[in-house]
Amino acid sequence: MPSFETIDDIPPNSRVLVRLDLNSPIEDGEPQDNRRFSRHARTVQDLANAGHRVVLMAHQGRPGREDFTSLEGHAELLSSYLDRDVAFVGDVFGDEALGAIEAVDAGEVLLLENTRMCADELPEEPPEAKAETAFVQTLSAVFDAYVNDAYSAAHREHASLVGFPLVLPSYAGRVMVAEYEANTAITTRDFDGPVTMVIGGTKATDVIEVMAEVGDLVDRFLLGGVAGELFLRAAGHPVGTDVEGSELYDDQWERNHETIERVLEERREEIHLPTDLAYEDDEGERAEVMVEDVDEKTTAFFDVGSATVEAYAPKIRDSEAVFVKGALGMFEDERFAIGTVGVLETIGESDCFSVIGGGDTSRAITLYGLSEDDYSHVSIAGGAYIRALTGEPLPGVEALQKGP
């Protein structure tokens, strides 16, 4: 357990500044509901029920991007998970925000405007520099405590994440504690049986770095997605290349092939590659081909095949712990969900410690009616989860541990 205190340690009747991560897909200008709202709602509810005056801050998108927008809609969405309203003020730390903060009574909740609309927030700088910004200095003067519940953003050195812990008594929220404990289990826990990691997704660079760093902590890797094809390419199969309309493979191969080849050579017995792959045939239906029968890649592959799912199942059932990073196929299309859903179902049915990492992969649980209760932890983190798996420090967690 880390050395930070939790929200249960906050003195009574405090005015509390709480950092959440409510970053969401935006459609027609409105934030879309996702697992983050329901998860963070527990922290907010517990603080409000304890009689604290609760003020929230969060981000949405980045300046210049289409999803960079106000948090007004986020306040309404978050309130749907609480037994009280979430007020909103369209200001971060100016006079309007300070007035709204002063007006918050015990048990009430207020959400400030998008932190990334504040110039002090985004540049990556050391905590000491962030603590001196006008943003941090102004808000810290009117609060008794700071809570960081934004584990999924904890790999960033932004003012709202690393500045406040240096100037205010600081605490971990419910999400922060749960994510930290589950995601660091691979480096902090001892497992009696085999530890398996399922590797997939489209960002092969991230997961290849994980494979290179986890060393003896993982006993076997089950591959799919872009990473699976790139490792098949390294093993001499004519896949893992771009075809017309695809830009996922060649660039990532160029950047990572030396690492892929080294990891494959060093851990060949522990790395399990797809034996078949799925594609769209001329009739628009799912079709499968054995990897050994591919002479040339002429079409995109969107999933691992059924034989691969069957081969991976006993390896999962034999595991003491399973960590998932990335989907094995394009599961958003039901035709190509067999790999991802099949593996998730097997993990859910087995009696192992399991962490399902990354927002994209965890969406498959909801999309295909699986039960989150069947897994030890379903993470809402992406970049922070990657860092946790490799044992890299998270600035937001480190700042919280140091305190003022």
Q: What is the DSSP letter of 161?
A: I
For the cut 70, the answer to whether the pLDDT of residue 87 exceeds it is: yes
- Confidence band, pLDDT 50/70/90 cuts, at residue 4: confident
pLDDT digits (tens, 9 = 90+) for 114-124: 999 999 999 99
| Other Cβ atoms closer than 10 A to 19 | 26
At residue 73, the pLDDT reads: 98
For the cut 90, the answer to whether the pLDDT of residue 13 exceeds it is: yes
| Other Cβ atoms closer than 10 A to 163 | 29
> What are the structure tokens assigned to 339, written together?
């790999």
The mean pLDDT value for 367-386 works out to 92
At residue 1, the pLDDT reads: 46
For the cut 60, the answer to whether the pLDDT of residue 101 exceeds it is: yes
Residues of the chain with pLDDT > 90, as a percent, come to 86
For the cut 90, the answer to whether the pLDDT of residue 401 exceeds it is: no
For the cut 90, the answer to whether the pLDDT of residue 358 exceeds it is: no
Mean residue pLDDT of the chain comes to 95
Q: pTM for the whole thing?
A: 0.90
For residue 249, give the 3-state DSSP assignment.
coil
Residue 14 phi, psi (nearest 5): -90, 150
| Other Cβ atoms closer than 10 A to 121 | 23
**333 vs 4, higher pLDDT:** 333
Return the residue matching tokens 């199942």.
313
Residues of the chain with pLDDT > 70, as a percent, come to 99
pLDDT digits (tens, 9 = 90+) for 260-271: 999 999 999 999
CA 209-211-212 angle, to 5 degrees, is 65
**136 vs 388, higher pLDDT:** 136
Return the residue matching tokens 């939790």.
6
Rounded distance, CA 97 to CA 89, Å?
6
- Confidence band, pLDDT 50/70/90 cuts, at residue 2: low
